[in-house]
Amino acid sequence: MNFITFSETNLRAFTYSVFKKMGCSDAHAELATDVLIRSDLRGIDSHGVARLSGYVRLWEKKRINATPDIKIVHETPTTATIDGDAGLGLVVAPFAMQVAIEKAEKYGSGWVSVKNSNHYGIAGYHALMAVEKDMIGISMTNASPLVAPTYANERLLGTNPMCYAFPAGKYPPVIVDMATAAAANGKLEIAQRANKSIPDGWVQDKAGENSTNPNELKNGGSLLPLGSDKDHGSHKGYGLSATVDILSAVLSGANYGPWVPPFVAFLEPSANPVGEGLGHFLGAMRVDGFRPAADFKNHLDNWVERFKSAKTIYPDKKVIIPGEPEHEFEQERKISGIPLIDVVVNDLNELAEKLGIEGLK
């Protein structure tokens, strides 16, 4: 496995040109590009430009609308339901978070559930929009059914990530951004490209037995919930995933559980959908709705410092603050560039040739 490093500017220009070829407006192409590049900058390589081909294939199958009419279909002063009109989740979710922020500015908090959307990238991107306004951001989405609930041998839930983001003072925001499965599917894709095995406890085969084969999903297996098995708390991961599914889809009118349309274009959506598209749930809460923002941020700084000074089991290990590794990646990659494995670069250059645009250099 070889890595090729590209500048942020180079990758942005390439990604933007792909979304423009799909027919996106300038503003939507720029926003969708920003979501993907932010993922790569933050070291979440599974959800960055490596996903571009997947979005294009869904667009070719007419399952993504490049020119959506995103609109509010139900509303109260502090809540809303949004119809994404089958648009890119990379565009629909920021629209929804902006609605949540505007409601929070007026009333203290805003809560938005979304239907008829698609894969929205990293949950953290949308939650961080609220942090920039001295708000606490909440972001979650349901996803393609790849996860078997505790004791099940059937895919009924997605990796269903959730993110909580808190503004700090002199430190970066504290960002709890995680899949509710034992591992995100993107990590399996990375292992597949690298031809490496995966840790025990991530997946089970079609017979329900543990496996370390990253290709297990293609063979009829399933991802496991966070915790892996009941003895290690998988019922908690299952419960968190169920919460995301209900808030994102049962609440909004999107598809839920096994009816969620797959991200891969070669699998067709359910012939009997229970809703419209994928669902998201976004929330924003003004910190000063609880206490002065400066006080909160000072105390969150103190929280960070105390946890960073914790005694550790091994001398060379320190307690990691949620969101800290991603922040460090972002600072480094903005200077040194974004590394992509050669398999991804080849895939993107094949995509460029197909679309008739300039490839990566």
Q: Are 77 and 106 in contact (CB under 8 A)?
A: yes
CA distance linking residue 175 with residue 247, whole number of Å: 20
109 and 237 share a domain?
yes
Does 294 map to a domain?
no
CA distances from 156 to 29, 63, 198, 206 (A): 32, 21, 22, 14
Indicate whether 24 and 152 sit together in one domain: no
> Is 28 in the same domain as 133?
no
What are the φ and ψ backbone dihedral angles of 132, each rounded to 5 degrees? -60, -20
User: At 305, which amino acid appears?
Assistant: E
- In angstroms, the CA 222 to CA 187 distance is 14
This prediction's pTM: 0.95
Query: Under a CB-based contact definition with an 8 Å cutoff, are residues 256 and 140 in contact?
Result: no
Which helix (H) or strand (E) segment holds residue 107: the answer is helix 89-107
pLDDT tens-digit series, residues 85-116:
999 999 999 999 999 999 999 999 999 999 99
pLDDT of residue 267: 85
The residue from 167, 193, 223 where one domain ends is 223
Kindly state whether residues 157 and 201 are assigned to the same domain: no
Domain contains 314: no
**Amino acid identity, position 65:** N
Same domain, 106 and 158: yes
**pLDDT, tens digit, 9 for 90 and up, residues 318-358:** 999 999 999 999 999 999 999 999 999 999 999 999 999 99
- Residue where a domain terminates, one of 195, 223, 251: 223
* CATH number of the domain within which 218 lies: 3.30.60.50
- The reply to whether 32 and 165 lie within a common domain is no
Q: Which of 171, 199, 223 is the last residue of a domain?
A: 223
Per-residue model confidence as pLDDT tens digits over 220-251: 999 999 999 999 999 999 999 999 999 999 99
Residue 323 lies in a domain: no
Share of the chain above pLDDT 70, in %: 100
3-class DSSP assignment, residue 74 = strand
Q: Name the residue among 246, 352, 336 with its Cα closest to residue 43.
A: 336
User: Which residues neighbour 171 within 8 Å (Cβ) at sequence distance 6 or greater?
Assistant: 300, 301, 304, 321
Give the total number of structural domains in the chain: 3
Q: Same structural domain for residues 238 and 343? A: no
Residue 35 in any domain: the answer is: yes
Domain contains 353: yes
Same-domain check for residues 177 and 275: yes
Residue 57 sits in the same domain as residue 78: no
Are residue 23 and residue 141 in the same domain, yes or no?
A: no
Residues 189 and 151 reside in one and the same domain: no
For the chain, percent helix, then strand, then coil, each to nearest 5?
45, 15, 40
Lookup result for tokens 């398999």: 343
How many other C-beta atoms are found inside a 10 Å radius of the C-beta of residue 358? Answer: 12
Cβ–Cβ < 8 Å for 47, 122: yes
Q: What is the pLDDT of residues 49-92, one digit of tens each?
A: 999 999 999 999 999 999 999 999 999 999 999 999 999 999 99
| Shared-domain flag, residues 81 and 156 | yes
Half-sphere exposure of 146 (CA within 13 A, CB side): 29
The reported pLDDT for the residue numbered 266 is 86
Residue 324 lies in a domain: no
CATH number at residue 355: 1.10.1530.10
Residue 192 banded pLDDT, cuts 50, 70, 90: confident
pLDDT given at position 187: 83
Assigned domain for 274 exists: yes
- Residue 235: inside a domain: yes
Question: Is residue 3 within 8 Å of 339, Cβ to Cβ?
Answer: yes
List the domain range (segments joined by +) for residue 200. 183-223
